[in-house]
Every structure is written in C-alpha cells, then in structure tokens.
Amino acid sequence: MKTTKTLAKLNTLAHSHGPLPTGRGMGSGVTALILGILCFLGVLAFHFPQYLSTPELRKSYDVATIRLIMYWAMVVAGGISLYNILFARTRWLAASAFFLVAASALLGGAKVPVNNFADHTPYIGLDWFILDLLGSSLIFVFIEKLFALRREQPVFRAEWQVDMQHFIVNHMIVGFVLLATNLLVHKLFGWAAKDGVQAWVRDLPYPVALFLIVLVADLVQYATHRAYHEVPVLWRLHAVHHSVKSMDWLAGSRQHVVELLITRTLVLAPIFVLGFDKGVIDTYIVIVGFQAVFNHANVSVRLGPLRYLIVTPNFHHWHHSQDDEAIDKNYAAHFAFIDYVFGTAVKSDRKWPDQYGVVGDYVPDGFWKQVKFPFTWKG
C-alpha cells in the first residue's frame, strides 16, 4: 500500500512544475532522486555495454574516471537520502532515492567488471544521455542561478517534461543519427572530396583551421536555418523547436529528429569534404555542444561589443521571440556578424525580448504530438 502511494506521489511530482517548496527536503530529495536514477542507469550500462553504450563515446572517456563519478554520486545521493529519512524531511522522496542507490549498490555499483563484449551490436546511447544530463545540469543550472535573466523562472518550469523527453530520445538514438548522417554525407557529398584540398586544410595552423571550420559550418547552418523559416514545409519541422515558451538550458533539446538529421548532414558535409584534422573537429564539437545549450540558457549575458561578433544568449533569445521585430531574424549559431552581413540581425531598442514561442501558438503540447505535427496539415 505504501509502495503504491509512493509511486503515485512520484508520478504527481514528475507531472508538476514550479518552484520546489523550501525547508522540507524537496530540493535535496529531488537532487538525490535524479542522482539515484542516473546511478542505476549507469550500472545497467556497465552490465550491458554492448547494448547501452555508444562506441564512439567509449573511445573518448576513461572508465576509471566514470567509476569515480558514479561512486561519489552514490555517496552523495545516499547521504542526502539518509539525512532526510532520519530528520523526517519528505521521507517518501528520500526513501525512493535511497532505494535506487541501494539497488545500484546491490547490482555492483561502481565496481561492475567490464569484460570483453561483442562489437557492432545494436545499441542506444544511455551513457551519452547520463553524462550529458549530469554535466549539462550541473554546469548550466549553476550558471542560470548565478546570472539569471528571469530570476522568477524555476528550474522545473512549465513544459520541462516535454523538453526532457526530447532530450532523452535525441540522446538515446545517437547511434542511429551518427550512422544516418555519416551515410548521407558520404553518399551525397563523397564526390566533392579532393585529396589536394584536404591536404591543404590539414596543413593549416590550428587556430586558423579552427576559425575556418566554425565559419564554414556556421555559413551552412545560417543557410539551412533560414530555409527552415522561409520554406513552409521545412518550417513545420522547425516550428517544433520554436514552440518552447521558456528559455533555459533544456530548451534547445526540443528539436524534431528529422530536422536533426537534415541539419547535421548538411553541416557535416563541408567538414567532411574539406577534410579537417580530427583535433580541430573535436574542438568544434565541444564549441557546438556548449553554444547549443548556453545560448538557450536563462542567463543575462550580452558580452558588450563582442555580441556583434559571436552569438550570445541575448542574440539567440531574440531568435526565439515572437515579438514583431524578431520574426525571421538572428539565424547564425556561432558568429553573429553573419546576420549583420546579410541584414537579418534583430534591430530593437530593447535589450531582451518579451515573449518566446510561435506566433499563434499552434504547435501542440506533448512530445508525441510534436513528433507528428510536421506531417499533419491542420493549422
């Protein structure tokens, strides 16, 4: 009976939004619960790496470091849970978190041995989801609290569940996205790759090559992004991304998978054709990952005159605005000067926009409804 009541409370919590009550252990309890969930999923990934981890990502991280992170996550979550249980601070939430930590420990915790396993198996990117969610939330929630633009906006703002579903799905299918984009790039643009050009690009000094890869990718991103706004069929896909009404670190995750495939294929095409060095590509991926989250974040950052050169949260917030002066403006992802050159930069006397979302608010709420939306034609 108690288990049923606890599950009902957890379900209610998951479907709610707004600021968490203070002084009752809700904030710490939710933190412990999230860490407990991630630890439990991490243990499963250690047990079944051939099915639950990403081959490309496995090459990049150190397993010993991951084990250390998991160990301390279990310690923190378990410690918080025990404290809240002992001092009667929302015990049902604390007990739920402690159960997950205990289950993780019983399944081996951070000491699960990883033996040789089959390669080239079907997989989902559970490890990518865990690491990105943990890293992004720790970094960007902290930044948002420190430099908040809208201080009244809670961490669990309205519609966070929809964006979390987009976040989960787009991370879990990372293998499919990588396979599909690589196949499309090679099939569609392989003819354009020339050894001479690629050798010249690889011989460029690192800073020059890095600037060039970001510039070339952003020019393609600009053209693609503008097409999403100006071609009605493409706008149906992109409108899903624009339907978010609150900007924060999670808002950028709301992206239709078909748009994700199209954009990544087109942006990766010149990178593949020009043959950039792996080190340059790795740095570019870090820049893309950071800006994609940071520029959607609920942070009051404009960077003074630099905002005319690089894309900032202020610049991209205007792109998501439904204010009149912001419609179909600020397309660049990295270099703001591209929009100034092409005359598509926002001109406004105000520092920040008033409203976000799609004019008319016709994109439906809910993950699956948004997945289907581009393929329906009723408004």
Q: What is the pLDDT of residues 191-220, one digit of tens each?
A: 988 999 999 999 999 999 999 999 999 999
Residues 58 and 198 in one domain: no
Query: Is the confidence at residue 1, as pLDDT, over 70?
Result: no
Length of the chain: 379
Residue 225 has pLDDT above 80, yes or no: yes
Closest residue by Cα to residue 127 from 209, 66, 206, 191? 66
Does 319 map to a domain? yes
- Torsion of Cα atoms, 305 then 308 then 312 then 314, to 10°: 80
Using a pLDDT cut of 70, give the percent of the chain over it.
99
State whether 317 and 239 are in the same domain.
Answer: yes
Together in a domain, 222 and 349: yes
Domain with 72 in it? 2-11+23-123
The dihedral over CA atoms of 165, 166, 172, 176, expressed in degrees to the nearest 10, equals 150
Q: What is the pLDDT of residue 351?
A: 94
SS3 119: coil
Residues 194 and 88 in one domain: no
The arithmetic mean of pLDDT across residues 36-64, rounded, is 92
Count how many domains the chain has: 2
The reported pTM is 0.93
Same domain, yes or no, for 119 and 181?
no
Band (171; pLDDT cuts 50, 70, 90): very high
208 plus 306 within the same structural domain: yes
- What is the model's pLDDT at position 157? 95
At residue 108 the predicted structure's pLDDT band, cuts being 50, 70 and 90, is very high
User: Same domain for 191 and 119?
Assistant: no
160 assigned to some structural domain: no
Query: Are both 116 and 36 inside the same structural domain?
Result: yes
- Both 58 and 192 in one domain: the answer is no
Place 116 in a pLDDT band, splitting at 50, 70 and 90.
confident
* pLDDT confidence bin for 379, thresholds 50/70/90: very low
- Whether residue 138 is contained in a domain is answered as no
- Angle, to 10 degrees, between the axis of helix 257-274 and the axis of helix 195-202? 90
Residue 176's pLDDT band (cuts 50, 70, 90): confident
- Which residues, at least 6 apart from 133, have a Cβ–Cβ distance to it below 8 Å? 38, 167, 171
